[in-house]
Amino acid sequence: MCGIVCAISTEAVLPLLIEGLKRLEYRGYDSAGVALLNKNGFERTRSVGRIADLEKALGNGINNTSTAGIAHTRWATHGAPTQKNAHPHLTPGKLAIVHNGIIENHQALREELIKAGYVFNSETDTEVILHEVDRQYQLAGDLYEAVRATVKRLKGAYAIGLISSDEPRRIVGARSGSPMVVGLGKKGHYIASDMAALLSVTQDFHIIDDDELVEISDDGVRITDLDGKLVQRDVFTSDQHAGAADLGHYQHYMLKEIHEQTQAVSDTLEGRIAAERVLPGIFGAQDETIFKQTGAIQIIACGTSYHAGLVAQYWFEKFGIACRVEIASEFRSRQHTIADNTLLVTLSQSGETIDTLAALKVAKQEGVAHTLTICNAPESSLVRDSELVFMTHAGPEIGVASTKAFTTQLVSLLLLVVSITKHHRLSAQDEARIVKELRELPAIIDETLRREKEIAALARLFTDKQHALFLGRGTQYPIAMEGALKLKEISYIHAEAYAAGELKHGPLALVDEKMPVIAVAPNNRLLEKLKSNIEEVRARGGRMLVFADDHAQINQTKGVDIINIGRVDNIIAPIVFTIPLQMLAYHVALIKGTDLDKPRNLAKSVTVE
């Protein structure tokens, strides 16, 4: 949510700032702006809408020769998405600010600043930071000291960048709760919310931690804590490249990322499995010792990652390890009891999800035995704050609706299940069987992707539909939940998922010819019960779409459309069956004409409450 890009360079920075904002579009936003520092002061341009609208507003300004500036994409929190609320915000002639986050004590600070004579031109909490920095600047005469004094007064989350016309070759940033990186370039230095914003100019970064400040200037980079003590920080070299997030020949990022799942799963498995076993040490140097002691699992996640955790719960308990799964925002805000010898597992694509980070902190305070994160972002906050770490190797995921991040999380969780339960109930034969299925998984995914034309054709059934029901049993229930989430996220169709056994406990009342019902039918011990549910829907005039295992022997009849997915072994079935649901959501949204990669009101990474 929101994105910031700041730059001091020997070259004109406007093209870089605009490119950086484009690379941060996946975070979700509703307005954008840029402030450039020239000889005569700030030149600011802001726009409601997309980056393309900002470029139009800039007009010929894209050729601006300024070598220092800051830019922002805003996701509205305090104040509607209007031009006056868009960042950057300015004080008359001196300071400019960009901010990602939410300041919880903004109202008290605003009232104090109004009494001191400050005039507010927006409804944002960000302008409170700006005026407080201005007030402190007048006392200290130094931008860094003014920012340091200000952030000590702030409560909430922030990643901020400020520049002053009095010190034009200096930008000061600070971070607490919202991500921030510093790019180290040959022609300048940069601050951004995400490495992706800066990959066109550098692959070398410093990762800024909570309660730290950073100053970039022509002289280099300085990082300190809130007391002004210098912090030494290693350089992190990203293995991503600027073209990794390009669309290529695909129409949308979501479609590209659906088709990248074969490779993403292969990359996630590479170096982690041998012929018949999962290799030790893949979760960290001490993982074997910790896993032997583990008596219970607590999984914490949000959104799509939560659904991955629910699948893992079935897997863990199948092999004798108690597992609880909870939405991070709920976990952090309630009283709970954590069993002894519990391994806390956090799941996040970005590693910066604010509720998940807060829940991890709460669990540590309550004495959880050990922590592990499964994440797609090296050097993210979750990675740095966790004892054990597993990187999914999904690569950049730009589309807001998660696809390959989800399937690689499932693969990672299955590796974790094997790594832990082989010290308890899982036999060597079971481990060998699961590893065999994992080795075959990329080819099965590739085969599943070839059903796209069939799925696209059936997507036309949803052209005039406003509601949909998803059904699944066992491990396919969370997959049904994920399928419903995908459909509602990008097509804006109201979709709900139910365990198929709950159909007669209420949802059946919704079924009619206007309510399509989507079922997931692997060939497992629950298949016959699911077939009964299908008949219940058909008998009431409902239209069924069933994704079935080739051996499930579900007949296509009037009102029941079948797409056979192939022969899928039970343990990996949830991973495979999620892919046709992703493709269905994509093609329905394509028919509906929605903004597929940037659905309304949503952000890729939820870094503020």
Which sequence spans correspond to the domains of the chain?
3-244, 247-448, 450-597
Parallel, antiparallel, or unpaired for β 322-327 and 296-301? parallel
Is residue 196 pLDDT above 60, yes or no?
A: yes
Please check the confidence at residue 308 and state whether its pLDDT lies above 60: yes
What average pLDDT score do residues 248-269 get? 92
Q: Which residues contact 91 (CB under 8 A, 6 or more apart)?
A: 130, 131, 134
User: Between 482 and 472, where is the model more confident?
Assistant: 482
DSSP reduced 3-state for 529: helix
Assign 258 a pLDDT band (cuts: 50, 70, 90). very high
Residue 442 reports pLDDT greater than 70: yes
Q: Where are the alpha helices (DSSP H) in 450-552?
A: 452-458, 476-491, 527-539
More confident residue, 302 or 2: 302
In degrees and rounded to multiples of 5, residue 376 shows phi and psi of: -110, 5
CA distances to 13, 139, 196, 255, 346 from 395, rounded to whole Å, are: 27, 47, 11, 15, 19
pLDDT of residue 522: 63
For 141-161, b/e burial (b = at least 16 CB within 10 A) is ebbbbbbbbbbeebebbbbbb
Cα–chain center distance at 308:
14
- Of 52-61, 219-228, 550-559, 582-591, minimum mean pLDDT range: 550-559
Q: Higher confidence at residue 49 or residue 96? A: 96
Pick the CATH number of 247-448 from 3.20.20.70, 3.40.91.10, 2.70.98.30, 3.40.50.10490: 3.40.50.10490
pLDDT band at 145 (very low <50, low <70, confident <90, very high): very high
State residue 527's pLDDT score. 57
Are 212 and 225 in contact by the 8 Å Cβ rule? The answer is yes
User: Residue 24's pLDDT band (boundaries 50, 70, 90)?
Assistant: confident
Q: At residue 344, does pLDDT exceed 60?
A: yes
pLDDT band at 189 (very low <50, low <70, confident <90, very high): very high
The mean pLDDT of 275-290, rounded to a whole number, is 90
- What is the per-residue pLDDT for 607? 57
Residue scoring higher pLDDT (553 or 152): 152
CB atoms within 10 A of CB 467: 15
Q: Which carries the bigger pLDDT value, residue 501 or residue 13?
A: 13
- Give pLDDT, residue 491: 94
Q: 581 or 560: whose pLDDT is higher?
A: 581
Q: Mean pLDDT across the stretch 546-561? A: 73
Fold of 3-244: Glutamine Phosphoribosylpyrophosphate, subunit 1, domain 1 (3.60.20)
Q: Catalytic residue numbers? A: 2, 604
429 — pLDDT class (breaks 50, 70, 90):
very high
Length of the chain: 609
DSSP-assigned letter for residue 556: P
What proportion of the chain, given as a percentage, has pLDDT over 90? 61
Query: Higher confidence at residue 553 or residue 219?
Result: 219
Which range has highest mean pLDDT (97-106, 512-521, 551-560)?
Answer: 97-106
Q: What is the model's pLDDT at position 61?
A: 61
Backbone angles phi, psi at 50, to 5 degrees: -90, 170
The structure's pTM equals 0.79
Q: Residue 420: CB partners within 8 Å, gap ≥ 6?
A: 291, 294, 297, 316, 321, 343
Q: What is the mean pLDDT of the chain?
A: 89
pLDDT(309) > 90 = yes
Compare 535 and 157 and report the one with higher pLDDT.
157
Alpha-carbon distance of 582 to 253, in angstroms, equals 13
Predicted confidence at residue 515, as pLDDT, reads 80
Averaged pLDDT, 504-533: 71
The stretch 260-275 carries a mean pLDDT of 91
Quickly state the pLDDT bin for 553 (edges 50, 70, 90).
low
Give mean pLDDT, residues 514-524: 77
**The tokens 């550098």 sit on which residue?**
202
> Residue 228 has what pLDDT?
93
Better pLDDT: 263 or 62: 263
The pLDDT assigned to 563 comes to 81
Q: Cα–Cα distance between 207 and 209 in angstroms, integer?
A: 6
Q: Which residues contact residue 127 at a Cβ distance below 8 angstroms, ignoring those fewer than 6 apart?
A: 89, 120, 121
pLDDT in tens, 474-491: 899 999 999 999 999 999
Architecture per CATH, 450-597: 3-Layer(aba) Sandwich (3.40)
Q: Are strands 544-549 and 517-521 parallel, antiparallel or unpaired?
A: parallel
* Of the listed ranges 94-103, 148-157, 516-525, the one predicted with least confidence: 516-525
Q: What is the mean pLDDT of the segment spanning 147-157?
A: 93
Which one, of 175, 122, 179, lies nearest residue 130 by Cα? 122
Residue 571 above 70 pLDDT?
A: yes
Q: Is the pLDDT of residue 498 over 80?
A: yes
